[in-house]
Structure 1
Amino acid sequence: MRKLKGQTPNNYRVDGLFGYIELTDKNGLRIGEVKVDKFNLSRIIQAGRWYLHRRKDCTTNHVFGSLWSGGVRREILLHRFLLGDYPNLCIDHINGNGLDNTLSNLCFVTNQQNSEKRFGSDRDSQSGIRGIRWEESRKKWLVRYKKDGKTFNIGRFSQLEDAIQKNNLVRREVFPYNYGDVPIINIMSILNETNVNGPGNRICIWTQGCTKGCKGCFNPESWSNKINTQWTPQALAQYVLSQECDGITISGGDPLEQPEALLKFLRVLHGDGGGESLRADFLPKGIICFTGFLIEELDDGAAAECLEYIDLLIDGRYVEQLRYTSGLAGSSNQRFHFSSLPGRGESRLQRSEILIDQAVEVHIDDIDPSIIRVTGFPSIDRTFLKRHGLRIESDE
C-alpha cells in the first residue's frame, strides 16, 4: 500500500511499548488518539492518513484509513489493516475500546460472538445493563437474553440488585466469551494452498509460543509468547470450514502449549462430536500436528485429549545433528503416531505420502506484501542473508 498523494501523515507519540496516533477532524482539530503497538507504528503511519470512524448504529468508535492498494483507493478499518480481512469473521476489541488497537486487544470472533459481546444496554432498557429491562405493567425488572434468534425470559425481580445478580450468572453461562472463559488461540501465521506441509492442498496453521528452544529451529520467531494474532476456536474453525482444502497441518511454535484452545478448535471442527465424527469428504488428507513434546509426556489433560482428533502426531524435539531430509519431520528422532480410530489415521494419510522428499515454498503474504513467508523444511543461513541485505525479523 502507498499513502494518498498530498496527504499529511498523522502526528504520533511513543510511550514505552506503545504508539499513540493523533486523530483530527476535517478542520485539523484534535479529537482523540488511537493506541497501537510500537512495532506496528511505522507501518501504520507510512500507509496513509487515519481518521475517526463514528457509526450511528454502533456505540464503539473505530479508526479507518483511506489507502491505495493495487492502484485502487479503498477505505479500511485499522483493526482489519493490522490483522487482515478474513471473510465472514469479525474482529473484536476485547476491552470494548475501538481506539485500543494493540494486538493484545484484538481477536477474531464469529458474527454471533461479536453480537453477543456487544457492550451497553438494550434500547428499551432503563437499567443501563444489557439483558435487564423495566416492565411498567408489572412494575418489575425483567431478565432476558437473546441467542440464535430466540428470546429467553429468565425471571422478574422487584429489586434491580437481584436482577443484576441473576443476569450476571445467566449470561456467564450462556455467553462465556463475554467473560473471558473461552480460551483464545495465539496464532503466528496461517497459510492457504500449501503442498509441502503434508499431502494434498493444505491449510497450515502456525501457533505462537514455544518453550523448547531447539537449536537450529526453522521458526525461532515463533518461540516468544507475545500476542501475535488472537482467534477464538470457533472463529478459527469457521475460517477452515470456509476454505477448500484437503487437510490441515498445525505447527508452531508448539500447538500443544495451548492445549485448551486447541482442543476446543478441534472439537468445533468435528461438530462437537468425537474423533470418529469427521465426515469422510471433509479434510480427506487429515489433520497433522507437530509438537516438541513426546507423546509419553502428555498427561491426562487437554493436550492428551487433542490426540483423539488428530490423524497424525509428529512428536519430539528438533535435534539439529539428526536433521532429516526424506520425510515429513525435521529430525530423525521425531516419530509418527497415526490415529487408530476407524476412518482416521492411515485411512486418510498413507505412510508413503509422509515419507517424501522435503520441499520448500515461498509465498508473498496475502495481507502484507512486505512479508515473504518461507515454508516447508528450509535450510536458512541467516549470516548469508544478512550479507545480502536481508534479515528475518521478530516483532520482539
Structure 2
Amino acid sequence: MNFYDLPAFYEILDSKYNVTNNELDSATYTNVDCNFVFSAKYARHRWFNYKEGFSPILVEKTFDEYGLDKNSVVCDPFCGAGTTLAVAKVKGMKSIGFEVNPFAAFITKVKTEDYTQKDIASFKKLLSELEQIVLRNDLPLPENEYLKRIFESEMLTIQLNIRDFIRNAPESKAKSLLFFAWICTLEECSLYRKAGNGLKIKRKPPEYPQGSAFQFAYDRIFSKAQSMIEDYSEEDNGPVPKLFVESVTNLEANVEQESIDLILFSPPYANCFDYTKIYYLELWFGEFVNSTGDQKKIRMNSLRSHCHATWPDRYTNFNLPELNDQILPLLREQKLWTNRIPDMLNGYFADMEEALRQMYKTLKIGGHCSIVVSNSAYAGIIIPTDVFLAMIAEKIGFKVNEIAVERLIITSSQQYKKTEHIRKYLRESIVKLEK
C-alpha cells in the first residue's frame, strides 16, 4: 500500500460499519458531549480541569440511550477524573472504576465520596487553621532538581509549608478535601503550565509582591475550597464507587463475570502523550510518586500509548491485518520523530484487545460498551483507531452497532496539510458495542 491507496483504504474500512455523522467538514474543540471544558458548569465535575476527560452530558445521554436505572451497574475502566462514576452516583447506580494514575484516582475518590455537614464544617475549620500557620524556613527542599525549579523560591517554601500542614493534619474526609483544594492550585502558583505532552515555562508567571507568596497561594486554595463547599449537597450522596488504582488488565480479577450493564470509557489516545509527564507536578509534589521508579511503575502498568518507555513484550499473539500488514509497513517507510512509533501502535492495539476481551467477560448478555476515542496521524498517515477498535471488538464477540463521529479534530499544521485530502477520517468518535 502507498499514500495514493489511503483514501480508498479508509473508505473500505468505514463501509464495514454504521458510521454516522461522517460528513463534517471543519474541526472544532467545542463539541459539548466530548469536551471536558463543559464540566465547568457542573457541581463536583468543575473541581479539577481534567482536560482528557469527557463531559457529564455525554454520560447522561449514554445512560438514557441504554435505559439505565438505579438497578444498573456501570464500569469505567479508564476512569480518569471520575466523570462516569460521579454521574452514576448521583443517579443512584452502583459503579466500578479502574485508574492506573494515582493522582487521577485521588480526584475520582474525592469527587465521588459521601460527605456530611460535619465533614464540611471540619473542612472549613482546617481551612481557617491553614490561614494561621506559622511559616518555617527549615523544611527540606525536594531532592528532585526539577521540582525545585517549578516554583519561584519564596513560593516553593510556601508550598512546602502548606503540604507539611496538610500532611500532619489528622486523617479525615476534611483533610482529603483540603489536600484536593491545595493540589488543584499548584499549577496556578507555579512557573510552569501544562502544554502538549508535558510542562512548559509560562510566558506570564504568577505575580505577587515580595513576602506575599503565602497570601497568593492561600487565596487560590480558599477560592477552590469555596467552590467545593458551594457544590456540597446531601442529594449527591449515593452508592460510593468501587475504585481500583490499577491497570484495566486486572479487570476480570476484580469484577464478577456478566455483572455489568454498561462500560463507558475514553482510553488514552494513541497520540504519544505520557500522562506521568503531563501531571508531573501533581504526582511528585502531591507525593503520589516519590522516585523515578514509582513514576516508571505507573508508565509500565499503563496502556502503550506513548514512546517514553521501553515496553516489555506482552500480548504477542495480537494481529490485525489492516494494521500489521498495511498501515504499519507504510508507516515504517516514513521519516518519523522516533522509530518507536510503529511498535507503540502495535502495542496500543494489543493492549486494547486484551482490555476489551476482559470487558466482554464482565458485561451482561445484552450489555453495552461505549468507547470515546480519537484517531491520530503520523507522517500524514491517519491511524483509524475507532474502526480498528471496532474490528478488534468484533473479533472478540461484540456486535458493533455504530461508530458515531462526534467531531473532526485539530492537529498540527504540518499534519493538517499532509492529511487535507483525507481529513474526514481525522476525528473523535464513540464506538458503540453490544454483547
**TM-score normalised over the length of structure 2:** 0.28
* Greater Cα radius of gyration, structure 1 or 2: 1
More strand by share: 1
Q: Which has the higher contact order (CA 8 A, sep 6+)?
A: 2
